[in-house]
Each structure stands twice: as C-alpha cells, then as structure tokens.
Amino acid sequence: MAVNDPTYAGEHRPAAAPYAPARPNLLPRELSDDELNLFRRAGERRRVAAGETIFRRGELGRSMFLIDEGRVKLEFGDGLTEKLIGPREFFGELALFIGNHARVAAAVAAEDCSLNVIEHAEFQRLLEEAPAVLARFMRRSFSYLVSSEQQLIHSLRRRNEDLMLALDSLRQTQNELSGALQLVRTDELTGLANRRGLYQFLDEQFGPASAAAYPALLLVDIDRFKQINDQYGHLTGDAVLQAVAEEVRASAGAVDLPARLGGDEFALLAFVADAGDLANRAIAIVSAVRRLRFAPPNERLSVSVSVGGCLCDGGSAWPAWYSDADSALYQAKGSGGDGWKLAD
C-alpha cells in the first residue's frame, strides 16, 4: 500500500525506512536499488536494436529512459565529447522533470538494448507514491546537470580561447605568407617589383586600353654602368641603382608598376593618356637622373640613363611590347645615351 494511503492514521503510520542504497558508489547516471526498483515497476519495457535512434537532438520529449540491458551513446554535437552509458543508468531526465523539453543530445543504441521508458505523467504519480526516493534522485540528477553545464561552459570557454589562438595563428601565418610573397616578388636592393612581380602584375591588373588611358611600357637602362662599378666600386654601383630606382618610382602613377628587370635595367608599366604623355614620362626620368648628385668621395660621379618606350598593343602580349620598347631603347643608346626614344 502507498505511504499516502488515507487509511493510515498519522500517529500509527510506520516510519519511513532510511535511504540506504545497496550501491554506495554510484556513477553519475546510475540508479540506486530503490530508484531502480521504483522506475522498473512504473516504466514501459522497450527493445531497441543496435544503431537505432532513440531520440534526436532538439526533439521535444516527455519521457526518461532507464537501461536494463545494452549500452546507449549520447551525441551532443558541436564537437563535444560523446558519452556511452550502460545498465542501471538513465538519460533524458530533463524532459521528465520539465515536460515537453528539447533534447540536448541525440541518443543512439550502441548495441541491442532493453529500456524502461518512464513518461512524464507516470513520474508525477511516482512523486506522490515515493517522494523521499524521488527527491534524492532529483537532487542528485540536478547536481549532475549543473556539473555538466559547468563543464560545458568551461569546454566552450576553452574552445573559444583555442579558436582565438587559432585565429591569431592564422593571421600571423597569413602575414608571414604575405611578407614572404612580397619578398619573392620584390627586388631586395631597390624595393621595386622584380620580374616575378611584374609578370603577376601583367596577369592580374595590366589590362587592355580604355577610353581614358592606354597601357604603355618604358625601359630604362643606366649608361656605362659597368664603368661606374669598375671605377667607383660595387657599393657605389648599388647606390646608383637605388637612386635611379627612386626616380623611376617617382614617375609612376597610382596604378602603374615600376620594376627592376635585373642588372641596370628598369621598367615602368604605366597607363597614359597618349604618346605625348608617355614621352613626358620618359623626359622626366632622363632629366631627374641627370640631376642626381652623390656625397663625397663620389661628388664627381655623373649618371645618365637611356629610355625606350612604346604604347602597348592590346592585341599582343608582353614579349611584343618588350621587343618594341627594347628597339627604341637600342636607338636611344645608339645616339649616345642620356636620352629617350619611343617606338613608332
């Protein structure tokens, strides 16, 4: 007879037996003997085959499950650790306490299982029948749920910290990669683009002519550079290369590319309004280099350049452009240097 049977008189009701589970060291989800017997009497037996989904994450539920035989896997998703539970253990208890609660994990039979299913309405009846047993069960369950939530919060915090560290590492790697790529595409001495950088510019940005501007190429060659190296030394030769590079860079527009092709040869890929605009660029470079002055003991050093250029035919490619500009450069050098020439 139930302890709340009205036939019992208050003064004659027997004292409740002390709560002394036969298994003092219970696992977090393991039931005591009293709880196990109570739920087995109230539950509905259900067989589940290995691999069968008992319920899905996010699914609304109103029942708790007790495992009599077999094992069940709880899958929390979002990279959280799965849990494998077995006989005498329970799961889905929040739906039992609250009713119509969204499942926080998916439950899948890891092997053939025998379950006891306790519905929400039956649990309410059990609360009246054995309140002391269920009060202890609920207190232990809520303690476990709170501990699980704290572990989840800690795990999410750690994951967030790990994610931030990973993002910082990715940013650093990206910056290092960008820096490495920049070095690969840049001439170390002058800071201008090298041939690799020039070819990438041609592939990505140096497009066909528009109504406002035409693509053009200037080749710049230092006159008698070998003599400068022989007479003044390679350190001075490097200083000359850097100074000429600055003048080529100064003549470049925002969308143009100044480059060092190698040795004492430079190039300027530019967008110009017409051939007159290109000629003015060539004149500016020749004049600026002619005015260069160097500190002692190289104050007597005089530097000049020869420049050849062409408007780039949109129907052809770099080899043809280079050939036209190089022919003009050859004519400028053949005239004694310190001058410029455009291809016809």
Over residues 35-57, the pLDDT tens digits come to 999 999 889 999 999 999 999 99
Q: Is the pLDDT of residue 325 over 90?
A: yes
Count up the domains in the chain and report the number.
Answer: 2
pLDDT at 104: 84
Residue 285: which domain range?
195-342
Q: Which of 134, 153, 172 is the last residue of a domain?
A: 153
Q: Is the pLDDT of residue 68 over 90?
A: yes
pLDDT in tens, 95-136: 777 777 788 889 999 999 999 999 888 888 888 888 888 888
In 10 A of CB 84, how many CB atoms?
Answer: 10
Q: Is the pLDDT of residue 160 over 70?
A: yes
Q: How far is CA 329 from CA 38, 310, 323, in A?
A: 101, 10, 10
Decide: pTM greater than 0.95. no
Q: How many degrees, rounded to 5, is the angle at CA 85 between CA 42 and CA 120? A: 30
CATH of the domain at 310: 3.30.70.270
Q: Which of 130, 153, 176 is the last residue of a domain?
A: 153
More confidently predicted of 213 and 227: 227
In a domain, 315, yes or no: yes
Mean model confidence pLDDT for the chain: 83
CA distance 27 to 141: 11
In a domain, 130, yes or no: yes
Q: How far is CA 77 from CA 56, 107, 147, 226, in A?
A: 11, 11, 18, 70
pLDDT in tens, 255-300: 899 999 999 999 999 999 999 999 999 999 999 999 999 999 999 9
pLDDT in tens, 168-207: 767 776 665 555 555 578 888 999 999 888 888 888 766 5
Query: Do residues 134 and 209 share a domain?
Result: no
